[in-house]
């Protein structure tokens, strides 16, 4: 499983989302998330469907927040936030092999999500970010507490760059998730490979 988990945002990528997803998959990305905050259900469905169609079975597409849309576009999973459906409720009716991610900002929330059937945790905000206005800052110390509380992979999110991503793994996380680190790069595929290599090297050094 890749250490860098790209998030393709509707506002950030727009009509280029399918092309961005294809570039990332060619670079070795085996899991990516589709996010469309503020979009209507119809817009989110169309956006997600286009990405899934472009990626096919070459990578697992995770839909942010919306379990219904994830099922409708035959995505590989859903990422559930603080105010979304409970992890346990989704796990009860999700198809076999369906991946469920959950947001956590403290160890107890992460542990509860793991016990309810989550496959991974997205923890943040680790660093300041402009792509999400409603998030709370937990820093590397908060991330370390979450990573130490669960056995499932933890991805640090928010404000991730090539320069700071290794510190996320050194804090105990499995990897990083982010939007702009690849979406705003001149060469998204190269940016993904550089992030992935840096994170893997940090993980090896930690071992």
> What residues does each domain of the chain span?
4-206
- In whole angstroms, what is the distance from residue 87 CA to residue 21 CA? 26
Report the candidate in 181, 192, 53 with the shortest Cα–Cα distance to residue 127: 181
Q: Where are the alpha helices (DSSP H) in the chain?
A: 10-13, 17-26, 41-55, 67-72, 87-93, 107-116, 139-147, 165-170, 180-183, 188-206
- Which residues sit opposite 178 in a β-bridge? 6
Contact 101, 118 (CB under 8 A): yes
Q: Does residue 58 carry a pLDDT above 80?
A: yes
What is the average per-residue pLDDT within 6-25?
89
Find tokens 């576009």 and name the residue: 73
pTM of the model: 0.94
Tens-digit pLDDT profile for residues 185-199? 999 999 999 999 999
Q: Output the average pLDDT for the chain.
A: 95
Query: Cα 150 to chain center, whole Å?
Result: 17
Q: What is the dihedral sign for C-alpha 84, 85, 88, 93?
A: negative
Q: Does residue 32 carry a pLDDT above 70?
A: yes
Tens-digit pLDDT profile for residues 100-145? 999 999 999 999 999 999 999 999 999 987 655 556 899 999 999 9
Q: What is the dihedral sign for C-alpha 198, 191, 57, 11?
A: positive
pLDDT at 11: 87
Domain 4-206 in this protein, CATH class: alpha beta
What is the average per-residue pLDDT within 2-14?
90
């Amino acid at each position: 499983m890749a250490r860098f988990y790209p998030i393709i945002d509707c506002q950030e990528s727009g009509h280029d989302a399918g092309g961005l997803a294809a570039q990332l998959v060619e670079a070795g990305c085996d899991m990516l998330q589709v996010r469309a905050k503020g979009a209507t259900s119809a817009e989110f469905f169309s956006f997600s469907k286009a990405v899934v169609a472009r990626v096919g079975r070459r990578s697992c597409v995770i839909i942010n927040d919306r379990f219904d849309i994830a099922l409708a576009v035959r995505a590989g999973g859903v990422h559930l936030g603080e105010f979304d459906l409970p992890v346990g409720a989704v796990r009860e009716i999700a198809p076999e092999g369906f991946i469920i991610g959950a947001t956590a900002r403290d160890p107890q929330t992460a542990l509860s999500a793991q016990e309810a059937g989550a496959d991974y945790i997205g923890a943040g905000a680790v660093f300041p970010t402009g792509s999400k206005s409603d998030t709370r800052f937990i820093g590397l110390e908060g991330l370390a507490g979450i990573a130490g509380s669960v056995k499932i992979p933890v991805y640090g999110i928010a404000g991730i760059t090539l320069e700071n991503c290794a510190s996320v793994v050194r804090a105990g996380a499995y990897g990083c998730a982010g939007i702009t680190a690849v979406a705003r790069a001149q060469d998204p595929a190269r940016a993904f490979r550089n992030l992935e290599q840096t994170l893997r090297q940090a993980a090896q050094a930690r071992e």
